[in-house]
Structure 1
Amino acid sequence: MPVHHAACSCGQLSAVAQADPGRISICHCLACQRRSGSVFAVQARFPADSVTIQGRSTAYVRVGDEGGRARFHFCPVCGDTVYYTPEAQPDAVAIPVGAFADPSFPPRHVSVYEERMHPWVGLPADIEHHP
């Protein structure tokens, strides 16, 4: 059984996923750009019953570009987002791939909201591309 450990910068908030991710996606939506502080965000989705959370979090409900809502949980000490729960997928927990700090983490499957992708970003052709 694979085990993936994610944590915030200070280590106070962590998530352990005891499963392979069902989906790993790159999102170029404006909400993810703001949330991540980068030109896109990469996240892995796991079955909720495979994820154990430890530590305190502060939550913020973010509304995405198309109106979907997700509850983002971040560390009240260092501010890093460690996980979120999409309202439309109550049985899933999404974890930003950077929170794993693991260069061997599995690669992405899909790229979404590409109409908002910065023109200088290049992505592999072997993944699903969605405007």
Structure 2
Amino acid sequence: MTARKATCRCGQLTVVCTGDPVRISVCHCLACQKRSGSAFAAQARYPDAQVCLTGEFREWSHTGDSGSRATFRFCGTCGATISFSNESLPGTTAIPIGAFADPAFPPPLFSVYEDRKHNWVAILGDAIDRYR
């Protein structure tokens, strides 16, 4: 079984995910743009039972544009978000793809809030959406 390790920037907070993600996506909502500091956020969702988080973290919850509440877990030292859960997708934990620091990580095939997507962004998986 595949195991992937993600870490915060300083390395004290880690998450190990086993198996394959159930969804790899990008989000263009304004909250994700702010959280990621980029034009969009990319994340891989795993069943909760396949995620093991170790280290000290802080949590912050926020109600997003969809009206559902998300809880973010981040390192209190370096501030990097290492995981989050959303009540609209119960039983799953999302891990920011960049935290894996793996250029071979599978690409996203699902894209949401495209009405807020920057006009210079093209997500190649948009044409091959296996999650619908």
TM-score after normalising by structure 1 = 0.94
| Alpha-carbon displacement from aligned partner over 1:58-104 (angstroms, at most 9, x marks no partner) | 10102211211110000000000000111233311100000000001
* 1:126 equivalent in alignment to 2:97: no
Question: Structure 1: which 4+ aligned runs deviate by more than 6 Å?
Answer: none
Paired with 2:39 and 2:89, the residues of 1 have a C-alpha distance of: 25
**Consecutive unaligned residues in structure 1, runs of 5 or more:** none
* 1:81 equivalent in alignment to 2:95: no
The 5-angstrom pairing of residues 1-12 of structure 1 reads 1-12=1-12
Asked if the contact 1:108–1:127 (Cα under 8 Å) also holds between the matched residues in 2, the reply is no
* 1:57 equivalent in alignment to 2:51: no
Give the aligned CA root-mean-square deviation in angstroms: 1.0
Paired with 1:52 and 1:18, the residues of 2 have a C-alpha distance of: 9
Counterpart in the other structure of 1:103 = 103
Asked if the contact 1:58–1:76 (Cα under 8 Å) also holds between the matched residues in 2, the reply is yes
Paired with 1:114 and 1:89, the residues of 2 have a C-alpha distance of: 19
| Alpha-carbon displacement from aligned partner over 1:30-78 (angstroms, at most 9, x marks no partner) | 0100100000000000010011110011101022112111100000000
**Consecutive unaligned residues in structure 2, runs of 5 or more:** none
Structure 1 residue 18, shift from structure 2 partner: 0.7
Counterpart in the other structure of 1:25 = 25
TM-score after normalising by structure 2 = 0.93
Aligned residue type for 1:117: K
Counterpart in the other structure of 1:48 = 48
Structure 1 residue 3, shift from structure 2 partner: 0.4
